[in-house]
């Protein structure tokens, strides 16, 4: 086995010695690359697959967990800025069980787990405090489950219960959220946080929840804040203006061409909320009355001015000369009906966000829109966005020359960049073609050289084989020699074998030189 290995190594050594300098370099580099690739594959296969053991750990918990892992001899890796500890995937659950037995991590014992340690000796104050801390921890975990929220801190203010409801102070809450880098919470996410907190606490009004981010920006405040309300109104106004601007610009681009017009829309939105109640009463004449009554009175008799016994004079004397009047009479009739009255109560509530006024300005490029009438464009814009002159809407269309300097400069830069890109692609193509041709030439040259060497090796080998055949025939004839001659012949045979090995090695190393030498011997032979 050892001799076979030695012969194999010697053969490889002789083969390597026949290589040219370039072939030797390629062989060395290829062998090194194969060894490096094998080492990397072995290292990758030997490295265990890691999985998170705990995430979002505090510094104290991470330090305690790492100390315990080092004591147990469990390999680990840190990630997530030091807050995530990873261990081999097949050891995750067993390691968690072992760490839980050691009481790690400690700061994770929040939420409702705080209530597990309460006993009969727990005071009412401690009980209320633990309940508040448990709710804060559970709400923090719930809010952190929202996308883009990295951490959340919740503080609750829960006043003690009062005997009378009118003396009860309202509960309030504050939430501080830290988002992932490059992200912000949208209005819908802020409302989700507010309603999650309000729905989790008994008697907590959503308007009593304050939400702020890590930059100090108030996202939601009790009863609304000026900053939050202003931000919301600004967003609604900008959204309305962007929508109208997009519609008008798209329409004008189809009419006058892209880049030949510019539109500016300004809207004044009404954010006041009002409620109007109207009650209308009506009677149907065809409906019979619910009840009806009538009365008639007739009177006939003397004049009411007749006085019996005369009229009392200024001196108290009775004037008996008064005369009676004509007889009097009258007729009095009354009627009353109770009819059914229909009543209609209408309640209208206007939502904020309606358009109070709108102002649109359009500028057309004089150089490209000479044949287009500004009046037609004005009518088209007014009909497109619903201009109402009664509420003060205005539309202004003007033709002015556009400044195309920036566009021309950008076009030149794009053209130059395209030309440079094309040139770079051509250069890369030519370089690749040149490299391909060079590689093909090198391979062709190596094939031609190898073919020449193979031919020379065949010629040299043929000559050597012929010589060996002659020696073999001579050795066969020498078998009939005496023993002394046979011993001498055996020694010469061993020497011939050594020379043959040296000759084979020389042929493999320098086939052309050996062939040339043999040809010279053949020529010089008489």
Cα distance between residue 415 and residue 260, in whole Å: 21
Which CATH number is correct for 125-161+168-224, 3.30.70.2660, 3.10.180.10, 2.40.50.140, 3.30.300.30?
Answer: 3.30.300.30
pLDDT at 499 > cutoff 80: no
Q: What is the pLDDT confidence band of residue 364, given thresholds at 50, 70 and 90? A: very high
Maximum CA extent, the chain: 217
| pTM of model > 0.75 | no
pLDDT at 409 > cutoff 60: yes
- What pLDDT, on the 0 to 100 scale, is given for residue 367? 85
Cα distance between residue 91 and residue 51, in whole Å: 9
* Cβ atoms within 10 Å, residue 130: 17
Q: What is the pLDDT confidence band of residue 306, given thresholds at 50, 70 and 90? A: very low
- What pLDDT, on the 0 to 100 scale, is given for residue 79? 81
Cα distance between residue 248 and residue 362, in whole Å: 9
pLDDT at 478 > cutoff 80: no
Contact 516, 461 (CB under 8 A): no
* Among 69, 71, 49, 51, CA closest to 61: 69
Average pLDDT over residues 359-376: 89
pLDDT at 299 > cutoff 70: yes
Contact 204, 173 (CB under 8 A): yes
pLDDT at 359 > cutoff 90: yes
Q: What is the pLDDT confidence band of residue 487, given thresholds at 50, 70 and 90? A: low
* Among 99, 16, 17, 24, CA closest to 61: 99
Which CATH number is correct for 239-273+348-402, 3.30.300, 1.10.760, 3.30.519, 3.30.70?
Answer: 3.30.300
Q: Any idea which of 27-41, 143-157, 352-366, 389-403 has the lowest mean pLDDT?
A: 27-41
pLDDT at 451 > cutoff 90: no
CA atoms within 13 A on the CB side of 159: 12
3-class SS of residue 350 = strand
The DSSP bridge pattern shows strands 328-338 and 291-301 to be antiparallel
Q: What is the pLDDT confidence band of residue 227, given thresholds at 50, 70 and 90? A: low
Average pLDDT over residues 48-62: 79
* Among 508, 502, 512, CA closest to 19: 508
Average pLDDT over residues 440-461: 75
- CA 369, 371, 375, 376 dihedral sign is negative
DSSP string across 309-351 = T-EE-TTS-EETT------EEEEEEEEEEE---EEEEEEEEEP
**Residue written as token pair 């060894």:** 35
Mean residue pLDDT of the chain comes to: 78
pLDDT at 52 > cutoff 90: no
Q: What is the CA radius of gyration of the chain?
A: 55
Cα distance between residue 388 and residue 507, in whole Å: 105
Q: Report percent pLDDT > 90 for the chain.
A: 14
> So what's the architecture of 50-102 in CATH?
2-Layer Sandwich (3.30)
- What pLDDT, on the 0 to 100 scale, is given for residue 307? 47
Cα distance between residue 285 and residue 339, in whole Å: 9
- The residue ranking higher by pLDDT, 516 or 136, is 136
């Amino acid at each position: 086995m050892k001799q076979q290995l030695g012969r194999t190594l010697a053969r490889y050594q002789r083969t390597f010695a026949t290589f040219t300098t370039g072939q030797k370099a390629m062989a060395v580099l290829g062998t090194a690359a194969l060894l490096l690739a094998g080492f990397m594959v072995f290292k990758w296969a030997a490295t265990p697959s890691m999985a998170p053991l705990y995430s979002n750990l505090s510094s104290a918990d991470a330090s305690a967990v790492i100390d315990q892992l080092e004591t147990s001899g469990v390999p680990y890796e840190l990630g997530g800025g030091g807050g995530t500890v990873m261990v081999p995937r097949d050891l995750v659950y067993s390691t968690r069980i072992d760490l839980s037995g050691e009481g790690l991590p400690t700061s994770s014992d929040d939420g409702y787990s705080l209530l597990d340690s309460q006993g009969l000796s727990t005071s009412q104050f401690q009980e209320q405090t633990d309940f508040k801390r448990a709710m804060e921890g559970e709400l923090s975990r719930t809010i952190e489950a929202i996308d883009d929220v990295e951490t959340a801190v919740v503080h609750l203010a829960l006043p003690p219960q009062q005997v009378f409801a009118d003396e009860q102070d309202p509960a309030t809450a504050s939430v501080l959220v830290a988002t992932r880098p490059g992200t912000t919470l949208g209005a819908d996410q802020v409302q989700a946080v507010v309603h999650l907190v309000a729905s989790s606490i008994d008697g907590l009004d959503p308007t009593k929840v304050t939400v702020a981010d890590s930059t100090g920006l108030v996202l939601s405040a009790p009863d609304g804040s000026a900053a939050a309300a202003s931000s919301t109104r600004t967003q609604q106004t900008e959204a309305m203006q962007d929508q109208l601007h997009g519609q008008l610009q798209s329409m004008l681009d189809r009419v006058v061409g892209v880049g030949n017009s510019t539109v500016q829309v300004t809207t004044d939105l009404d954010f006041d909320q009002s409620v109007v109640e109207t009650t209308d009463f009506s009677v149907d004449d065809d409906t019979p009355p619910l009840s009806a009554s009538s009365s008639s009175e007739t009177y006939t008799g003397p004049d009411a001015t007749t006085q019996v016994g005369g009229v009392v004079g200024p001196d108290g004397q009775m004037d008996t000369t008064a005369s009676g009047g004509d007889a009097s009479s009258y007729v009095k009739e009354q009627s009353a009906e109770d009819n059914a009255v229909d009543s209609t109560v209408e309640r209208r509530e206007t939502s904020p966000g309606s358009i109070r006024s709108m102002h649109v300005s359009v500028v057309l490029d004089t150089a490209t829109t000479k044949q287009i009438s500004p009046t037609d464009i004005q009518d088209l814009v007014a009909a497109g966005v619903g201009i109402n002159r009664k509420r003060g809407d205005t539309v202004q269309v003007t033709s002015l020359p556009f400044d195309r300097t920036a566009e021309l400069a950008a076009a030149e830069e794009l053209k130059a960049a395209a030309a440079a890109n094309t040139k770079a692609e051509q250069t890369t193509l030519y370089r690749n073609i040149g490299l391909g041709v060079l590689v093909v030439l090198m391979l062709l040259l190596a094939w031609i050289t190898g073919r020449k060497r193979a031919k020379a090796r065949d010629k040299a080998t043929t000559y050597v084989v012929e010589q060996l055949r002659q020696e073999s025939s001579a050795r066969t004839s020498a078998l009939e020699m005496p023993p002394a001659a046979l011993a001498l012949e055996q020694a010469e045979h061993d020497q011939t074998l050594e020379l043959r090995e040296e000759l084979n090695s020389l042929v493999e190393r320098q086939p052309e030189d050996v062939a040339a030498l043999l040809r010279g011997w053949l020529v010089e032979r008489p």
